Amino acid sequence: MDPLENEILDAVDGLAVDLQTRIAVAASTTGKLHRSVSKNEIQREVRAWLEGIDISSIRSEVRGNPELPIKRGDWTLTLTAVGLLNRPSDRLIQVGPTRSGRLNDAEVLQKKIHKKANQHSKLDRPLIVAINTQSGFEDREEERSALIDQQPESVWRTLAGTRHTGLHGVLFFRTVVPWNLHCVSSNLYLNPFIDSDVPDELLRLGKAHVCDGKMKWETGEPLGDLLGLPDDWPGERTSSADRTDVGPD
């Protein structure tokens, strides 16, 4: 990751201790910083944005949540409120930073899941594929299209009929990293064409299933709670230089 970008991300993260906010933020960037910029100015922008957020407006489906674009030349940092933590954290950025780009469209998802299902087609136990997508933003329509609605074929359905009947579920996460396990978004899609056999523990996560011909989404427990992790997991904050930079392969 760019060291100039690291400085900005560290400055943004540094607001967490002072503000004691429970708002979890996702960060994504585009472009490149060509020179150092004022960290104090950026902190003032972020502080004003956070203090103006009505926490009741923050939804588990991220689209439409409060967002702050910060532009410096051809570089843009976009912060998005993605959830509420159980308690204030010493990290403000709980998801990312990601490099923006349209990586997770339905066709790409369908091909990746199809490949994984074919690799494990002869299992004697139900198969559940977990996908850690490279975006902090949910797109349920793309997920549903990849699994069921994509034409002429999707993961579970083709023009000739159903397929991958051994694939009982697909579990989507949004940029899972050690420091966001208490607020990371998840969607477990159950195969609607079979009597899915999924462990009860996984059913505690957010899930999607077909009911009366319509897709229904249910909010579940945070992954951190499911794993029994303490509220302050994973401990003290490290610099943005130690983060996983998520972006195009």
With b for 16 or more beta-carbon neighbours within 10 A and e for fewer, the 225-236 pattern comes to eeeeeeeeeeee
My answer on whether 174 and 122 are in the same domain is: yes
My answer on whether 80 and 129 are in the same domain is: no
Average pLDDT over every residue of 219-248: 69
CA distance 135 to 27: 10
Q: What's the half-sphere exposure (Cβ side, CA atoms, 13 Å) at 20?
A: 0
pLDDT, tens only, 195-218: 988 889 999 999 888 888 788 888
My answer on whether 126 and 44 are in the same domain is: no
My answer on whether 86 and 120 are in the same domain is: no
My answer on whether 118 and 218 are in the same domain is: yes
My answer on whether 48 and 83 are in the same domain is: yes
Residue 248 lies in a domain: no
Residue 114 lies in a domain: yes
Reduce the DSSP state of residue 89 to 3 states and report it: coil
User: What is the domain extent for residue 19?
Assistant: 3-102+233-242
My answer on whether 79 and 148 are in the same domain is: no
pLDDT, tens only, 69-101: 999 999 999 999 987 776 777 778 887 777 654
Asked whether the beta carbons of 43 and 15 are under 8 A apart, the reply is yes
Residue 249 lies in a domain: no
- How are the residues of the chain apportioned to helix, strand and coil, as percentages rounded to the nearest 5? 30, 25, 45
Helices (H) and strands (E) in the chain, counts: 6, 11
My answer on whether 14 and 33 are in the same domain is: yes
Nearest Cα to Cα of residue 208 among 122, 126, 142: 142
My answer on whether 127 and 214 are in the same domain is: yes
Asked whether the beta carbons of 92 and 9 are under 8 A apart, the reply is no
Q: How many domains does the chain divide into?
A: 2
Residue 156 lies in a domain: yes
Mean pLDDT across the chain: 82
Any bridge partners for residue 157, and if so which?
A: 162
CA distance 10 to 24: 15
Judge whether residue 249 has pLDDT over 50: no
My answer on whether 215 and 183 are in the same domain is: yes
Model pTM score: 0.63
Average pLDDT over every residue of 7-32: 88
* Apex 142 CA angle, 244 and 151, nearest 5: 135
Residue 171 lies in a domain: yes
